[in-house]
Amino acid sequence: MVAGAVVVGLALSACAASDRDSGGGATDGATGEGRSTFIFAASSDPASLDPAFANDGESFRVARQIFEGLVGVEPGTADPAPLLAESWEVSEDGLEYTFDLKEGVTFHDGTPFDGEAVCANFERWNNLTGVAQSESLSYYWQKVNGGFATSDVESLNGTGKYESCAAPDDGTAVITLRSPLPELVAALSLPSFSMQSPTALEEYDADNVTGEGDTPVLPEYATAHPTGTGPYVFESWSPGEEVVLTANEDYWGEQGQVRRIVFPIISDATARRQALQAGDIDGYDLVGPADVSALEEAGFQIVNRDPFNILYLGMNQANPDLADVRVRQAIAHAVNKEALVAQTLPEGTEVATNFVPPSVVGWNEDVATYEYDPDKARQLLADAGKSGLTIDFNYPTNVSRPYMPTPEQVFTAVEADLEAVGITVNPVPAPWNPEYLDTIQGGSEHGLHLLGWTGDYNDTYNFIGVFFGGASNEWGFDNAELFQAVNDARYVADPDEQQTAYEDANAAIMEFLPGVPLAHPVPSLAFKPDVHGYPASPVQDEVFNVVTLGD
C-alpha cells in the first residue's frame, strides 16, 4: 500500500471535546453506562475522508468504519467475500459482472443503496477529470482500471477496462468491461472503491478538486461530509489532533458495543507507546519489535496480523556495477536472511524467497533462492572483476512501516554481510517522505536500497505488477520479456492457468534477480488488557463494531 499525503482545504468546526476522562478511560457520554468509546491512536491525519481520493493506511483505517464496498474480505484473510453485494456472477468471457445487492441498506443521509447508487459510483470514478486524475488522489482507479473516460494525459485517455454500468432493478448492478480483468472482484474490497451516497457527493461537490500538481486541495465533502453505509458516522476532524466517529443508529448489521471511536493523532511511535501505558488510548498499530516484550510483560495485549507483505533489498541496474547479474547474485548470496530476521524483525517473521508472500496464488516454491554462501559471493564478485566493489546503499530513517519496522537495524545487518564478502558500503540515509521515496522512485541516482510493500488485496499482480510491470526508476532495467510475462499473467481468465503463469513469472523474476526478497515481517498492534475481539486482518480490513471493552 502506497503512503500518500495531500494538502487539504479545511473549513472545519472547532476541536471536538476530548473523550478521555480523568482516569484515561472513556465513558458513554449519553448514558454513563460503562465504556463504549474506543480510542485508537493514529500515526497521522487521514489524507482524505473520501476514500476515492486516498491511498494511505490512516485514511483507509477511518474509511473502513464509515464506508462499505460491494466486496469485503473473509475475516482474518485477504480473500474476497460478499459485503454490500450478497453474490455475483461473471460471464464466461469475463466481461460482465452481475452483482446481487443487499436489500434494506441506506446511506447515512437516508439515500437508498441500490443498483443506481452502484452505477453512480462507478461512473464517478471513471469520469474524474483535471486534478482529480492525479496519481496522488485517484491512485487505485488508475492502477486497477488503467484509465479514465477522458483525460488530458494521453496514456490515461480511454484506456481503462471499465465500459459501463447498468441497474436493471434496485437489487442488481451489472458492470461491463472492455476487456477481462480477473482481479476486479478482489480489488473491489479496497476502501477506494467503497460505495458513497450519490446525494452527498452531489450536494458537497465531491469531485471539485482544485489546486495543481502535488498540492491538490480537496472539496468540503472529503474534509467534513463523508457519507457511506458503514457502522459509524463522521462527527468531526480536528487536523493534527483527532478524528471522531459515532454509531450509525440505522446500520443494517450488528452495531456492537463501541458507540464512539476517537483517533487521536500521535505521530511518534514512542509517544504512542507511552499513551497506551498511561491509559490515554486503548490501542495502536505498528508496535516496534523492541517494545513487544516490554508491553506484554506489563500486562498489555499484543495482537499480530498475518504477514501479507514483502521487505526487499532493491538493486538499481542504472548503476553499471549492479547491471551485471553476477554482482546481483553475489549480493544475494552474501545476505544472511535467517540472521537478519532473528536479529531485526518481529517474532514470527518468515524468510522470503519470492516477491509475494506464500498465501498469494502464484507463489512458487521452486524459484532460485540464492542461499547464504559468503564464499560463493566472493567468487562471483571475482568472476565479474568486482572484488573491490564500493556501492551506495540507500535506506530510510525515522520511519516504521509494517514490512520494515526498524530500517536502520536492517541496514546495519545487511551492511555487515556485504562488508564480510569485500563489498564496501557507502551509507546514504534519508528521511522517508518525501526525500527517500523521491530518491528511489523519482530518479536514477541510487544503488542498493531497502523498500517493501503491503498487499492491498489478494492478487499476485498487486505485488509483482507494482514492481515489475514495466520500466521504473526504482529498478533501472528494461526487460521487455519479463514485463510481458508479468502483464500477460494478469489477464489470464482461467484460475489454474493464471496460477501457472504467475508461478512462471515469479521464477523468471528470481532468475533475473532485480532485487533480493528478504522477509515477510509480522505487523503487531498493542491494546489494553480489557480490549477484546480486535479483528486483526492481513489487509487491515478492521472494523471496530466487533470490538468489546471490559472484563
Residue 436 pairs in a beta bridge with none
Same domain, 398 and 497: yes
Phi first, then psi, for residue 541 (nearest 5°) are -85, 75
Helix (H) or strand (E) holding 464: none
Domain CATH for 166: 3.90.76.10
459 shares its domain with 321? yes
Q: Can you give the CATH number for the domain in which 371 is found? A: 3.10.105.10
pTM over 0.75: yes
**Where does 138-220 have alpha helices with state H?**
139-145, 184-187, 198-203
Q: Does 318 share its domain with 220?
A: no
Quickly count: other Cβ atoms within 10 Å of residue 198's Cβ.
Answer: 23
Instruction: State which amino acid sits at residue 248.
Output: N
Take residue 453 and report the three cell numbers written for it.
510493500
Q: Which DSSP state fits 114?
A: S
Round to whole Å and give the CA distance between 80 and 513: 31
- Taking a C-beta distance cutoff of 8 angstroms, is the pair 362, 488 a contact? no
* 478: in domain: yes
For residues 382 and 497, membership in a common domain is answered with yes
The burial class, CB within 10 Å (0-12 / 13-18 / 19+), for 544 is buried
Residue ranges in 32-191 assigned as alpha helix (H): 57-66, 115-126, 139-145, 184-187
- What does the pLDDT profile of the chain (551 residues) look like in tens digits? 544 333 433 333 333 333 433 333 444 433 334 689 999 999 889 989 999 999 888 999 999 999 999 999 999 999 999 999 999 999 999 999 999 999 999 999 999 999 999 999 999 999 999 889 887 789 899 889 988 998 766 555 567 899 999 999 999 999 999 999 999 999 999 999 999 999 999 999 999 999 865 578 899 999 999 999 999 999 999 999 999 999 999 999 999 999 999 999 998 889 999 999 999 999 999 898 889 999 999 999 999 999 999 999 999 999 999 999 999 999 999 999 999 999 999 989 999 999 999 999 999 999 999 999 999 999 999 999 999 999 999 999 988 888 998 899 999 999 999 999 999 999 999 998 778 988 998 889 999 999 999 999 999 999 999 999 999 999 999 999 999 999 999 999 889 999 999 999 999 999 999 999 999 999 999 999 999 999 999 999 999 999 999 97
Q: Which residues form the domain of 215? A: 47-234
Residue 347's alpha-carbon distances to 123, 525, 529, in angstroms, are 45, 13, 21
Say what the alpha-carbon torsion angle 503, 145, 9, 129 is, to the nearest 10 degrees. 150
**How many domains does the chain divide into?**
2
Is residue 464, in this structure, part of any structural domain at all?
yes
**What's the CA gap between 475 and 452, in Å, rounded?**
13
Are residue 224 and residue 328 in the same domain, yes or no?
A: no
Cross-strand partners of 126: none
Q: Which residue in 474, 487, 38, 115 sits closest to 280, CA to CA?
A: 38
In a domain, 260, yes or no: no
User: Strand 260-264 to strand 37-41: parallel, antiparallel, or no bridges (unpaired)?
Assistant: parallel
Both 408 and 494 in one domain: the answer is yes
Determine, yes or no, domain membership for 399: yes
Residues 94-126 have pLDDT tens digits of: 999 999 999 999 999 999 999 999 999 999 999
Q: What is the pLDDT of residue 156?
A: 59
- HEC states along 299-341? CCEEEECCCCEEEEEEECCCCCCCCCHHHHHHHHHHCCHHHHH
Instruction: Answer for the pair 106, 113: CB distance below 8 angstroms, yes or no.
Output: yes
314 and 221 within one domain: no
Half-sphere exposure of 182 (CA within 13 A, CB side): 20
3-state secondary structure of 49: coil
**Is 17 within a domain?**
no
Distances (CA, A) of 511 to 237, 268, 445, 505: 49, 40, 25, 10
Out of 234, 263, 281, a domain closes at 234
